[in-house]
């Protein structure tokens, strides 16, 4: 069975969600015959870099675009010609994908150079997609640089990376850089709703919101989580199914915990931690989410205008709760708490009892607060 993220990978630029500015740049380039010889796609994981690289390969080689000005001006590959189909199926000999994480040495780049010198076998352009390009060795980067400086006219390089700061400036300066931002919760939900409809999956909006938030801006991660949950639970999905499958607590435990902390209610705080542990949820993941949520509380407490940023990824009810917690909180004490939680997160990974560093941190916080009062 094919993974959902592969089944529903965009085949046309109009299906590429959240990157309209990049789509416009690439479509204008094909219309004006100004395709660059080298692109550098950079951004977070799962945001569409490799998918866009394959779409660009189709755009540059689509027979109907090459033969017909009207199709060229549309800026979309036809997705029907032999070139488009062979790229879709991964059978195009002139589209070469390289994973630099496992092919990072100078020998691999020298092999690439030899292939680049040869004319395309069937397409107009020979496309080299180098994923995780930041993993190349220094010698490999130097060899790649020579090709980028004097590239054959029939070659387009598409470099992709999640860590652009590790790519030498000599490389980046010879490419057209395009930034792939994390996708908003609403965009991810839109795609998941479409998939659920086509797959006849019964899932409510709240569950879709939770999956979208867990993905942290990565559409691929969201689709993988969705795939995992549906595989394990069938055609009807609830929040409990998500918790059971992923081994995490995704309900309102975090907001309740923070509320009880701000109210100095130690009994309730310990009850929540014990409940999470007893239910077998991942306490380290819970603490990570607690840190992330508390950072929002701190940001909103220090600057009420930050609510406009959080509107992109939180529902109305979540925004209301966030505002309530910000009003309850003390800014300086919250900053102390988040520093302690980060330290606890480090210790939890190496503790034989992973919940203890978190529990001790919360007790210390309340004890200091009680003494302060």
Residues 6+ apart with CB under 8 A from 9: 51
Q: Which residues of the chain form CATH 1.10.8.60?
A: 185-246
Task: Give the angle subtended at the CA of 131 by the CAs of 128 and 137, to the nearest 5°.
Answer: 95
CATH H-level, domain 4-180: superfamily: P-loop containing nucleotide triphosphate hydrolases (3.40.50.300)
Tell me what percent of the residues of the chain surpass a pLDDT of 90.
75
Phi/psi of residue 98, nearest 5 degrees: -125, 130
Helix axes 219-233, 205-214, angle to 10 degrees: 130
Q: Determine the average pLDDT of the residues in 315-331.
A: 89
Q: Which residues of the chain form CATH 3.40.50.300?
A: 4-180
- Among residues 82, 47, 298, the alpha carbon closest in space to that of 181 is found at 47
Per-chain mean pLDDT for the chain: 92
CA 199 to chain centre: 23
Q: Which pLDDT score, from 0 to 100, does residue 53 have?
A: 97
Residue 1 binned pLDDT confidence (cut-offs 50, 70, 90): low
Class of domain 185-246: mainly alpha
Q: Determine the average pLDDT of the residues in 12-16.
A: 95
* pTM reported for the whole predicted model: 0.79
155-205 pLDDT per residue, tens = 999 999 999 999 999 999 999 999 999 998 889 999 999 999 999 999 988
Q: Determine the average pLDDT of the residues in 279-305.
A: 91
* pLDDT surpasses 80 at 93: yes
Q: Render 10-29 in DSSP notation, one character per residue.
A: -SSGGG-TT-HHHHHHHHHH
Could you tell me if 212 and 202 are in contact, meaning their C-beta atoms sit under 8 angstroms apart? no
Could you tell me if 249 and 281 are in contact, meaning their C-beta atoms sit under 8 angstroms apart? yes
DSSP letter for 177, please. Answer: E
Q: Which pLDDT score, from 0 to 100, does residue 244 have?
A: 83
102-149 pLDDT per residue, tens = 989 999 999 999 999 999 999 999 999 999 999 999 999 999 999 999
Q: Where are the beta strands (DSSP E) in 162-283?
A: 176-180, 202-203, 236-237
Can you name the residues that pair with 176 across neighbouring β-strands? 39
Q: Determine the average pLDDT of the residues in 290-294.
A: 93
Q: How many CB atoms lie within 10 A of CB 274?
A: 12
User: Which helix (H) or strand (E) is 362 found in, with range?
Assistant: helix 355-372
Strand ranges across the sheet with 155-161: 95-99, 126-131, 155-161, 38-43, 176-180
Q: Which pLDDT score, from 0 to 100, does residue 250 have?
A: 60
Instruction: Domain 253-372: give its CATH code.
Output: 1.20.272.10
217-266 pLDDT per residue, tens = 999 999 999 999 999 888 899 888 888 888 776 656 889 999 999 999 99
What 3-state class would DSSP assign to 136? coil
Could you tell me if 212 and 192 are in contact, meaning their C-beta atoms sit under 8 angstroms apart? yes
Q: Which residues of the chain form CATH 1.20.272.10?
A: 253-372
Residues 6+ apart with CB under 8 A from 162: 42, 43, 44, 45, 132, 134
User: Which helix (H) or strand (E) is 99 found in, with range?
Assistant: strand 95-99
Q: How many CB atoms lie within 10 A of CB 346?
A: 10
């Amino acid at each position: 069975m094919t993974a959902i993220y592969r089944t529903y990978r965009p085949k046309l630029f109009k299906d590429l969600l959240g990157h309209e500015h990049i789509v416009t740049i690439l479509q204008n380039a094909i219309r004006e015959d100004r395709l660059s010889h080298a692109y550098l796609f950079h951004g977070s994981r799962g945001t569409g870099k490799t998918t866009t690289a394959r779409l660009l390969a189709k755009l540059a080689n689509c027979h109907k675009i090459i033969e017909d000005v009207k199709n060229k001006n549309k800026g979309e590959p036809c997705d029907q010609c032999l070139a488009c189909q062979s790229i879709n199926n991964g059978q195009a000999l002139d589209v070469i994908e390289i994973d630099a994480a496992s092919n990072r040495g100078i020998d691999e780049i020298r092999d690439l150079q030899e292939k680049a010198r040869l004319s395309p076998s069937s397409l107009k352009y020979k496309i080299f997609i180098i994923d995780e390009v930041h993993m190349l060795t220094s010698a490999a980067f130097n060899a790649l640089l020579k090709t980028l400086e004097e590239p054959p006219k029939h070659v387009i390089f598409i470099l992709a990376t999640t860590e652009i700061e590790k790519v030498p400036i000599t490389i980046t300066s010879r490419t057209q850089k395009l930034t792939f931002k994390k996708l908003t919760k609403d965009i991810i939900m839109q795609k998941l709703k479409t998939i659920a409809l086509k797959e006849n999956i019964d899932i409510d909006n709240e569950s879709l919101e939770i999956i979208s938030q867990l993905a942290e801006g990565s559409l691929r991660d969201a689709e993988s989580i969705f795939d995992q949950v549906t595989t394990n639970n069938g055609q009807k999905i609830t929040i409990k199914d998500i918790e059971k499958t992923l081994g995490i607590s995704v309900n309102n435990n975090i907001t309740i915990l923070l509320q009880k902390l701000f109210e100095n209610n130690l009994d309730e705080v310990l009850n929540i931690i014990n409940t999470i542990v007893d239910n077998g949820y991942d306490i380290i993941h819970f603490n990570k989410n607690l840190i992330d949520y508390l950072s929002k509380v701190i940001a909103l407490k220090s600057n009420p205008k930050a609510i406009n940023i959080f509107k992109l990824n939180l529902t109305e009810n979540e925004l209301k709760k966030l505002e309530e917690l910000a009003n309850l909180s003390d800014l300086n004490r919250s900053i102390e708490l988040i520093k302690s939680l980060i330290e606890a997160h480090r210790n939890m990974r190496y503790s034989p009892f992973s919940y203890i560093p978190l529990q001790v941190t919360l007790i210390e916080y309340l004890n200091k607060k009680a003494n302060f009062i």
